[in-house]
């Protein structure tokens, strides 16, 4: 049976690296950025380049209405990441319960944009029941 002798400096170095790795991991987890959410079209949105943000609007898909993006060319420096609809847990299973539509955008480059959403039944040609126009500046 052979014995391997470990130097004290090697053990201390290994422990220091482990502690440093754990500290960096904890720091990174704590620095996780949460996306800002906006729901008031009258308030201008200003974001830093490389961030993501949400537009949150009340909706009720049980009526057939939903928010529709009108002019994707006006998004300029923005990139649509996705959108979805959710109903609060307490209202799930209730007929006619409303919820929230959330649109997520990324800001890969600086510039100005306008996000125009209309609330309508997508299959209908009649005028929208509501609209929201958000002005965005990416710095």
Distance separating alpha carbons of residues 17 and 115, to the nearest angstrom: 47
Determine the pLDDT at residue 55. Answer: 97
- In the chain, how many domains are there? 1
Structural domain contains residue 24 = no
Determine the pLDDT at residue 111. Answer: 96
Four-CA torsion 119, 124, 126, 132, nearest 10 degrees: 10
Distance separating alpha carbons of residues 60 and 96, to the nearest angstrom: 7
Parts of the chain with a pLDDT under 50: 11, 15-16, 18-32
Determine the pLDDT at residue 5. Answer: 63
Task: Provide the CATH number for the domain around residue 79.
Answer: 2.60.40.2020
Structural domain contains residue 25 = no
Distance separating alpha carbons of residues 40 and 26, to the nearest angstrom: 35
Structural domain contains residue 116 = yes
pTM over 0.85: no
Determine the pLDDT at residue 100. Answer: 94
Structural domain contains residue 27 = no
Structural domain contains residue 56 = yes
DSSP result, 96-125: T--EEEEEEEE--S-EEEEEEEEEE-TT--
Structural domain contains residue 8 = no
Domain hosting residue 105, numbered range: 36-138
Structural domain contains residue 20 = no
Asked if residues 54 and 38 have their Cβ atoms less than 8 Å apart, the reply is: yes
Determine the pLDDT at residue 88. Answer: 81
């Amino acid at each position: 049976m052979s014995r391997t002798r470990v130097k004290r400096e090697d053990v201390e170095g290994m422990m220091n690296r482990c502690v440093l790795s754990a500290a960096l991991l904890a720091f990174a987890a704590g620095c996780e950025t949460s996306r800002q959410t906006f729901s008031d079209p009258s308030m201008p949105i200003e974001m830093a380049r490389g961030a993501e943000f949400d537009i949150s609007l009340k909706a009720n898909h049980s009526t057939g209405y939903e928010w529709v993006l009108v002019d994707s060319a006006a998004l300029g420096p923005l990139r649509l990441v996705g959108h979805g609809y959710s109903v609060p847990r307490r209202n799930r299973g209730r007929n006619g319960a409303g919820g929230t539509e959330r649109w997520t955008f990324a800001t890969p480059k600086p510039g100005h944009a306008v996000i125009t959403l209309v609330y309508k039944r997508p299959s209908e040609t009649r005028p929208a029941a509501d609209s929201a126009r958000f002005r965005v500046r990416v710095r």
